[in-house]
Structure 1
Amino acid sequence: MVEFTHISDGRAQMVDISAKSDVVREAVATGKIYLRPATLAAIREGIVVKGNALATARVAATLAVKETPRIIPMCHTIQLGAIVVDFKEGDGFIEAFVRAKSTGKTGVEMEALTGVSVALLTIWDMVKSAEKDENGQYPVTRIEGIRVVEKKKGTTPAAA
């Protein structure tokens, strides 16, 4: 059984960003899901039992980016300008990339990270029947390396 140690949570609050200027902001996050070779082949060939795993993950990631402030309590609501979700197959894994862009007072890192996390979880959900061993366990399947790989803070938008 896993034991948990209580950590005092102190207080929580949103950071006041009202005095900051609106600027163009962009973040790219990535992460990997490791899968069995047969599962990777099924994704590549479009024969996953539940349907198109990457198309479903792309939509799920887009929705997750848009809903980030609803699931991360101290995250500000922002006006998103663009969301791009892409995938790359590597040696034993699929890597997800999410680029989020906004013009505002705060960054979009949490949105990009949330998008990647949900994309990878969606892939797992789409292929879990193929990933389980005879005991119902996942000996190969794992998600790793979720991180921000790029963050840009640009210029103030031009006046209309």
Structure 2
Amino acid sequence: MTLPGLRVTETGTAGLVLTRDFAAPASLVFAALTRPELLRRWHGAHGWHLTACDVDLRPRGAWRFVSLGPGGAEMEMYGEFRDVEPPGRLVQTEIHRSWPEGAALVTTVLAETGGRTTMTVTAQYPSPEIRDQVVRTPMRRGAGEAYDRLASVLDQEKRDAHA
């Protein structure tokens, strides 16, 4: 599935790959993916916002996000960082409170060329059923909206740096 700016591809029996380009250097994109003060500005689809954002950015460091959405809906996800290589690579586990089992393994790779960064997020879910559950949710639209918000935050951060 392709949304404006976001490409989503199902891989194997339990994987997804999300790809998005940003008009920002990899160091800034990495910061926006890992610093709570920036994450709070963009993470989530329209109408959702982080009420908890804990990041211990180191191998074996924990992370936890709680989001509040329309009608009081709440979503919690958490995990552990496996590999942290600024500004180009981040590997972490991801567990959603609503999942019946296991953790996804999520690898984010940032490739910069000429001040632009291509972000490739590869998620390997614990089972085909969990991946299919994720695909059935509004995740695709929500991820697209979140990454649009991220692009706006990156643009603002670049403007502020040059002011």
Q: What TM bracket, shorter-length normalisation? A: 0.3 to 0.5
State the TM-score, normalizing by the size of structure 2.
0.37
Higher strand proportion: 2
Asked which structure has the greater RCO (Cα within 8 Å, sep 6+), the reply is 1
- Bigger Rg over Cα: 1
